Amino acid sequence: LQPSKSAISGHDLTGPGFGRLEVDLLAGLNEQGGEAVSRVLLEPLTGRDEERLAQTDAAHNLPVWATRLLAEKVFWKGQPLGQERAAGLAIVDRDLLMLYLRMQTFGSGVRGVTTCGHKDCGVKLDFYFDLNAMTIPQRQSSGHARPATVAQAERSIRFSFREPDGRDQAVIADLAAVDPEQAWLALMAGCITEWDGQAGITAQTLAGLPDDVLSAVDQTLADEIYSLDWEIELACSECGRNFKRTLDIQAIFRQELQFCNDGLLEEVHQLAFYYHWSEADILNLTRGKRRLYLQYIQKEIQT
């Protein structure tokens, strides 16, 4: 899924508003010996953030990029969350925060380009969907490790696992691009904190397990680990068939910030021209506020 350049040039202001947004985390963050982080505030991006983020290297590790952004824009107890806590958030919470940050910035509509999922067709298609239609899972009790069992031969193996976090995501990001299966094995191994009385298991040992045991572990983790990997169903206008695509909100948002933002300086120019505000003041506004003032100017000009 590629966002289209024209996607967000409109005045889609249907996001959760321009101000700070309170978000209840789904997995939360258990501080070692400290207070659990469960409710945070999300600070919307300003023009200055947009300007800086447009210059990010596209080849840069996506989870590391997301950690930096969340470290600055998520607030807990009046302070930015910081790199360490942002990296320690469960993937599901990172996706949730990124979803709201995206909606605060660009609204809820996502427009883009993809190709038909049927190989015999493969035509290029425009798509649109509304992020408000996405289902958010229920809040989870805690980020503590959870126990599970799988059967091997005549006995059952007990193991414990925790939610994967931003650090796990960063470690496997490059591998995931070339070998998703190996990446998933590495992610599972990283999240298994205890295996059959041992402290964890390596990806190699995991891969060497009998097929039925491995697939049972795989199934348990796939069912139990919360994710916001939304499958969206799209209809092909060429061949008339439906197909599914997975929406990666972090990837989409980064692409939008990198490639769809060439209107920023023009907006600064127009606002400076009509209101005589300084560039610095205008860049401190959110995208939503800039667009709103531009609408007011449009109305003045028309009347």
Residue numbers at the binding site for Zn ion (CB under 5 A): 116, 118, 121, 236, 238-239
Token pair listed for 223:
């069912």
To Zn ion, the closest distance from the beta carbon of 5 in angstroms equals 23
Closest to Zn ion by CB, 155 or 244: 244
Question: CA nearest 51: which of 274, 252, 280, 276?
Answer: 280
Residue 262, Cβ density class (10 Å: 0-12 exposed, 13-18 middle, ≥19 buried): exposed
To Zn ion, the closest distance from the beta carbon of 252 in angstroms equals 22
Closest to Zn ion by CB, 116 or 203: 116
52 contact partners, CB below 8 Å, separation of at least 6: none
Closest to Zn ion by CB, 68 or 118: 118
To Zn ion, the closest distance from the beta carbon of 236 in angstroms equals 3
Closest to Zn ion by CB, 115 or 160: 115
To Zn ion, the closest distance from the beta carbon of 242 in angstroms equals 9
Cα–Cα distance for residue pair 40/113, rounded to 1 Å: 33
Closest to Zn ion by CB, 120 or 231: 120
Closest to Zn ion by CB, 61 or 114: 114
To Zn ion, the closest distance from the beta carbon of 244 in angstroms equals 13
Residue 100: how many CB atoms within 10 A of its CB? 21
Crossing angle (nearest 10°) for helices 62-73 and 249-259: 80
To Zn ion, the closest distance from the beta carbon of 128 in angstroms equals 17
Q: How many residues does the chain have?
A: 303
Instruction: Identify the DSSP state of 4.
Output: -
As a whole number of Å, the end-to-end CA separation of the chain is 41
